[in-house]
Amino acid sequence: MDEIRELDNLQPPDRPQNTSTHELTNSEGPNRVPTTPTPVQDAEPRSTGPKTWRFWAIIVALSITGLMSAIEGTIITSALPTITDALGGGDAYIWVPNAYLLAQVAILPLAGQASNIFGRRHLLLGSVALFTLGGGLSGGASSMAMLIAARTIQGLGGGGINLLMETIVTDIVPLRERGQYMGIVGIGAIVGATVGPFLGGLITDHASWRWCFYINVPIGVASFVILFVFLRVKYERDLSWSARLKRIDISGNAIFVAAIVSALIALTWGGTIYSWSTYHIIVPLVLGLVGVLLFAAFEWTPRLCPEPSFPRQIVSNRTSAAALGLTFIHAVVAYWVYYFLPIYFQAIKGLSPLRSGVNTLPNVAGGLVFAVAGGVLLSKFGRYKPLHLVGFAVTTVSFGLFSILDANSSDAAWVCIQLLNAAGSGMLGGVLLPAVQAPLDESYVATATGIWSFARYFGCIWGVTIPSAIFNNECRRLSSSITDADIAANLSGDSAYQHATGAFLSSIQDLALRAEVVEVFTGAMRTVWLVGIAFAALGFLVSFIAKEIELRKELNNNFGVEDKKEAIISPKTDTEAAPSSNPV
């Protein structure tokens, strides 16, 4: 308990004292952290009390904003072939979704640091505006190049939205309660991700593909208005704009962006445009991974980076480091299921994409329910480690059961296995970030959330890339059993994934030949699930590394919900601060 009280009194660089250095002690030991003198009054621990209407208005506004962002992330999956046909561009089509993802990931460290400097409200409103602008430009795109550029703009907004939503929840909710409220806010995101593909198909079939992007313009405007009215949260107001700009870690973020661009170029081209074994993929992938290491080295060298966007203290204790690793692994196994469960229904069961989407609802809807349930359990008992262990153990078992599914499996079998996976994976969704934050001072909230978001997004990318490579390789290995040379050729390259559809199976008139293809897909899917067991089991083992740290029941930060009765101080000029009656 003495260790916990000591952690609560940490004074990290985001809230420095009027000295050049001071001692920072985390749960693993002392570290000396250089700081830039910035007089900021320390927050006192305070009880949150009953949740007010202003609190719930913010929660609802964040949920609606998450709905908008999640819809855009998935709506183009059904419409992409139509978009490519309309705008052309050849192989460039793959950058329509990936430019959005790239921009989302690249902006995370900068957005986390900037929200500490400029405040959550300003950054979130700016992100929603940028997202809405990108949606409008995407809908009006006249070429593939313009669409990719617009999607990049939209991704910058989307990354800021997703990060700041979670950061604001951590600002206004005590650590012990964060899991359940993050689950509630996440309802909008899960609903948006679920209806996105159906909405994209519906729009493509009955209207112009441009409405896949235009649809977010009115939603974005509504979200902006709601946030503008209700999102009133505290932030540090006694710095001039010039002083704020000087605190931004421009060099570190430039290294990070370059590294992420290089790595994602490799992951985007690998298995689609170039083979994984060519220098076109190996060189940018290696450069990207080396760049991430250089980014960490730069951020952790005080002489080079006095106020980093990735402070070493966030990963210098074993609990936060383990929880970040678990976040990465959880994202990998979650997207493993999201992307390959539909392959089972389409390539093995022979169903249409729409019917496949309906059949995956037990996993999606169940994940929503269990995410909220996990947050409630965390709030009630205040212990995250048992939830991590149970979550990864159940997920591991579900992967093993997925591996036995075949064309003859009953509906009850795949429904029950999906619900089991939803119980394990869904439970983990809301209880990983609190574990990252448990050993850290509250003023590390934004930077820790940014790094946590990066770990999650990076895991999502690998959660698609790894099983796709396994699937293609297994189909290549098993395709020798197919008697038709042309069909075997379709499955022996890196294009097996794109042929794993019900339409491809329906095009094969010979029933015996179709059965051979289904058998190849079944064997490949079995290997995909078996390899997935290793990743889920790794998460179970890593869960033992983290310490069980008592979760704070009180807020201890300089943010939180703003009281209208509070005096509002305008930002300083370069020489002095002046009072103002206008709310920020």
Query: What are 452-466's pLDDT values in tens digits?
Result: 888 888 888 888 888
- Same domain for 412 and 449, yes or no, is yes
Distance between CA atoms of residues 215 and 192, nearest Å: 12
| Residue 200 forms part of a structural domain | yes
Same domain, 281 and 214: no
Please state which of the ranges 142-146, 415-419, 465-469, 553-557 shows the lowest mean pLDDT.
Answer: 553-557
Asked whether the predicted pLDDT for residue 59 surpasses 80, the reply is yes
Quick one: average pLDDT of 407-419?
A: 93
Is there a domain that residue 574 lies in?
no
Instruction: Please give the average per-residue pLDDT across 282-305, as a whole number.
Output: 89
Assigned domain for 13 exists: no
Asked whether residue 421 is assigned to any structural domain, the reply reads yes
Statement to judge: residues 174 and 213 lie in one domain? yes
pLDDT at position 578, please? 36
Contact partners, residue 410, CB within 8 Å, separation at least 6: none
Q: Please tell me whether the overall predicted TM-score, pTM, comes out greater than 0.85 for this model.
A: no
The CATH number of the domain holding residue 346 is: 1.20.1250.20
* pLDDT cut 90: percent of the chain above it: 21
Task: Say what the pLDDT of residue 150 is.
Answer: 92
- What is the pLDDT, as a whole number, of residue 128? 92
- Residue 31 domain-assigned? no
Q: Let me know whether 155 and 302 are in one domain.
A: no
First to last CA, the chain: 39
Residues 267 and 221 in one domain: no
Helix axes of 95-106 and 144-172: crossing angle, nearest 10 degrees: 40
Q: Is residue 93 located within the same domain as residue 185?
A: yes
pLDDT tens figures, 177-206: 877 787 778 777 777 777 776 777 677 667
Q: In this structure, are 218 and 128 located in the same domain? A: yes
Q: Is the pLDDT reported for residue 424 higher than 50?
A: yes
Mean pLDDT confidence for 434-457: 83
Tell whether 301 and 326 lie within a shared domain.
no
DSSP string computed for 209-238: TTHHHHTHHHHHHHHHHHHHHH--B----S
Is pLDDT at 326 greater than 70 in this prediction? yes
Lowest mean pLDDT among 208-222, 453-467, 481-495: 481-495
Q: CA-CA distance, 470 to 357, in Å (whole number)?
A: 23
- Mean pLDDT: which of 72-76, 82-86, 201-205, 463-467 is highest? 463-467
Claim to verify: residue 225 and residue 292 sit in the same structural domain: no
571 lies in some domain? no
Residue 63 has a pLDDT of 85
Write down the mean pLDDT value for the chain: 79
Q: Is residue 199 part of a domain?
A: yes
Task: Specify the higher pLDDT residue, 99 or 237.
Answer: 99
200 and 324 both lie in a single domain = no
Phi, psi of 561 (to 5 degrees): -70, 135
pLDDT tens string 150-184? 999 998 998 888 888 888 888 778 877 877 787 77
Mean pLDDT of the 332-350 span: 88
Q: 376 or 562: whose pLDDT is higher?
A: 376
The domain of 223 spans: 52-238
Same domain membership, residue 509 and residue 401: yes
pLDDT at residue 50, as a whole number = 64
Final residue belonging to a domain, choices 192, 210, 238: 238
Residue 11 has pLDDT above 70, yes or no: no
The CB-side HSE value for 106 (13 A sphere, CA atoms) comes to: 26
* Listed residues 203, 238, 273: the one ending a domain: 238
pLDDT at 223: 85
Q: Is residue 431 part of a domain?
A: yes
Is the pLDDT at 7 greater than 60? The verdict is no
Residue 33: per-residue pLDDT: 35
User: Is the domain of 265 the same as that of 222?
Assistant: no
Q: How many structural domains does the chain have?
A: 3
